[in-house]
Amino acid sequence: MKLTDLTIHGMRELLDRGETTARELTDAFLNRIEAVDSRINSYIRVTAEQAREAAERADQRIQAGKAAPLTGIPLALKDIFITEGIETTCASKILSGFVPPYNGTAVAKLLEQDAVILGKLNMDEFAMGSSSENSAYGPVHNPWDTTRIAGGSSGGSAACVAACLAAGTLGTDTGGSIRQPASHCGVVGIKPTYGRVSRYGVIAYASSLDQVGPLAHNVEDCALLLQAVAGYDPHDSTSVDCPVPDYLATLREGVAGLRIGLPREYFIEGLDPCVKNAIENAVATFRELGAEIVDISLPHTDYAVACYYLIATAEASSNLARYDGVRFGLRQDNGSGLIDMYRASRAAGFGTEVKRRIMLGTFALSSGYYDAYYLKAQKVRTLIRNDFAEAFKQVDIVLAPVAPTPAFALGEKAGDPLQMYLSDIFTISVNLAGTCGLSIPCGFSAQKLPIGVQLIGKPFDEATILRAAQAFESATDFCTSAPV
Amino acid sequence: MNITQETVTHVANLARLSLAPEEIATLATEMGSMLAYVDKLNELDTEGIVPTAHAVPLENAFRTDTTRPSPGVEKALQNAPAASDGCFVVPKVIE
């Protein structure tokens, strides 16, 4: 087995036994990135020099017997995480050349453990997209079939793991942006509960929905990464001061006796038969493992996409007001004054999808339309949230598809924004309800494209969905690397 | 709802975005179809429903008002498109 194929857990064992070094692991990944990533385009920036320096520090720490769980493990970050001294662009021209003066909390926590950061990963510009095609650095290609999308917006984070170009990655999920690419690339990805992981130093898209989470080859690695970054942070007043359990401690407790709900609204027309089949097989596996399967209803599911595209765009229009050419980022000055400088800088710096969402969000917040659109959406959000609260009175976990189809072809939906938005139909409600969800591989299409199943948990109960996912992974054989 | 090019121009001004004429035409169509889609929310009676701003109950986060180290002027200005004398430089605001 190649070093780059190992899980984080496997690397830890070799490092701690002295059978490899962080330097050797880091070089193996850097060589593989060099050889493979031109076909995937998962990295925007490879930070080889800093990675080798970090590996040296990690090796010293390991030799001193002071290794933390992630010491010496090569990881990579979605380019939405600001990194001190390393250019951070959010895949946008408007942040070209932006070198942050500090690290965000999640990154700082990884660095405290002397994890090795290999570089910054491609994504949809400002996390706005479902295919990682909206990037100033070109689209991400799916490692299972490079003519197809990797999913989005954390497409680089998912493709990078699938192609073994880092041991694990961090992404963000506002409407499915960790779970959907994880499903399309055949890796495990978890969106924790809103408030679980600090967003300090994470570039904001929609502040009431954004959440940080890990992607990795298997459930245990995801749990390990989540453990490292979860927890209250005084720098993020929306992070919640709620104890973080030991995720590994309960990981192998199985699913016997757990109640798993199947929401009837998620098994609809338009669900690709191969996805439906894979999900039904997953349900059968959970039943065999001793879980009780219960039919449930989430009656407002059909309204989630409409609700999301008002709330997310409204919040985006406000968050992205900061890109005005004054304090950082691109400035376009044609000499006709401050307001024209704002307009010209934003026009030159933002891509088409970002402009579209800023426009829709500005409209939804504008005088005369606020009540009819933004406030209405916030009320519908309450109904969606109540659906989950009711469901979780009956069940411990909700099981659903992640995406209606396997990865579609690059360019297939680029011309039709609404069709692209509808591809998030099964993931968006979880963000609106603020709870946690993960995607774990559960099968393949006839074309050998991965399919994920979504396990949705109660707020702050990541431990239960991780435990169920671990039971599923142990009973099946879908967590394999992409053939690149 | 029908979105006119005048509405697009008005919203673009609020958003401080300059748009080319062809962008205005495209956005009028796209925003029109998005708003037609989101109109389905009106099928729901939301009378008396309390709006959700954040899904997790959050309280105001107070902290003690103490001095802490700041990044300093140099770091704060390191990404400025134009800076001078410890300040950001912008185009003239008042004639």
Closest in A101, A238, A418 to B71, CB measured: A101
Contact A359 B17 (CB under 8 A): yes
Asked whether residue A332 is domain-assigned, the answer is yes
Query: What does the pLDDT read at residue B95?
Result: 64
Interface of B with A in 37-56 (CB under 8 A): 37-38, 40-44, 46, 49-56
Q: Is A350 near chain B, with CB under 8 Å? A: yes
Nearest to A379 among B16, B51, B91 (CB): B51
* CATH value at residue A142: 3.90.1300.10
Q: Which residues contact A198 (CB under 8 A, 6 or more apart)?
A: A104, A105, A106, A212, A229, A231, A232, A233, A235, A236, A239
Looking at the complex, does the CB of residue A347 fall below 8 Å from at least one CB of chain B? yes
Q: In terms of domains, do A167 and A306 share one?
A: no
Which residues, other chains included, contact B5 with Cβ-Cβ below 8 Å and sequence gap of 6+? B24, B25, B28
pLDDT at A346 (0 to 100):
98
Structural domain includes residue A264 = no
At A135 the pLDDT is 98
Mean of per-residue pLDDT scores for chain A:
96
- Residue A262, domain member (yes or no): no
The domain containing residue B10 runs over which residues?
5-43
The whole-angstrom separation of Cα A290 and Cα A49 is 50
- Among A residues 190-229, those touching chain B with beta carbons less than 8 Å apart: 193-195, 208
Per the structure, the count of domains in chain A is 2
Are residue A137 and residue A63 in the same domain, yes or no? Answer: yes
Q: Specify if B86 maps to a domain.
A: no
Asked if the bond preceding A153 is cis, omega within 30° of 0, the reply is yes
Q: Is B76 on the interface with A (CB under 8 A)?
A: yes
* A166-211 pLDDT per residue, tens: 999 999 999 999 999 999 999 999 999 999 999 999 999 999 999 9
Residue A439 forms contact with B (CB below 8 Å) = no
- Whether residue A320 is found in the same domain as residue A426: no
Task: Judge contact between A75 and A110, C-beta under 8 A.
Answer: yes
Is B22 domain-assigned?
Answer: yes
The pLDDT value given to residue A417: 85
Residue A211 lies in a domain: yes
A435 contact B CB<8A: yes
pLDDT at B71: 84
Mean pLDDT value of segment A222-243: 95
Residues A196 and A219: their CA atoms lie apart, in Å, by: 18
DSSP at A83: B
pLDDT tens-place string over residues B70-86: 889 999 999 999 999 99
What is the domain range of residue A365?
302-377
Q: Quick check: is A8 in a domain?
A: yes
Same domain, A8 and A146: yes
**Shared domain check, A449 and A371:** no
Same domain, A75 and A13: yes
Interface of A with B in 58-97 (CB under 8 A): 97
Whether A388 is covered by a domain: the verdict is no
Residues of A with catalytic annotation?
A: 78, 153, 177
Q: Does some domain include residue B12?
A: yes
Is position B24 within any domain?
Answer: yes
Shared domain check, A238 and A104:
yes
**A183 in the same domain as A229:** yes
Q: What is the CATH number of the domain that holds B18?
A: 1.10.20.60
What is the model's pLDDT at position A334?
86
Chain A residues in contact with B46 by the CB 8 A cut-off are: 376, 379-380, 382-383
ipTM of the prediction: 0.95
Identify the domain boundary among A321, A349, A377: A377
Q: What is the mean pLDDT of residues A436-445?
A: 97
Nearest CA in chain B to A305: B38
- Interchain proximity A101–B33, CB inside 8 Å: no
Question: Which of B14, B82, B91 lies closest to A338 in CB terms?
Answer: B91
Q: What is the mean pLDDT of residues A443-463?
A: 97
Do residues A191 and A121 share a domain? yes
Domain boundary among A345, A377, A409: A377
pTM value surpassing 0.95 = yes
Domain count, chain B: 1
CB A36 within 8 A of CB A484: yes
Please tell me if residue A321 touches chain B, with a CB cutoff of 8 Å.
yes
Digit-coded pLDDT (tens) for A116-161: 999 999 999 999 999 999 999 999 999 999 999 999 999 999 999 9
Q: Clarify whether residues A246 and A165 are in a common domain.
A: yes
pLDDT per position as a tens digit, A272-298: 999 999 999 999 999 999 999 999 999
User: A269 or A94: whose pLDDT is higher?
Assistant: A94
Ranges of residues in chain B whose predicted pLDDT is under 70: 95
B10 → chain A, closest CA residue:
A363
Size of interface A-B (CB pairs under 8 A): 166
Q: Judge if A190 and A141 occupy the same domain.
A: yes
Average pLDDT over residues A421-440: 95
- Which of A344, A377, A410 is the last residue in one of the domains? A377
Under an 8 A CB cutoff, do A363 and B11 touch? yes
Q: How confident is the model at residue A419 (pLDDT cuts 50, 70, 90)?
A: confident
User: How many angstroms separate the Cα of A99 from the Cα of each of A16, A472, B76, B80?
Assistant: 35, 42, 11, 11
> pLDDT band at residue A414, thresholds of 50, 70 and 90?
confident
A271 within a domain of the structure (yes/no): no
Measured distance CA(A282)–CA(A342) in Å, rounded: 51
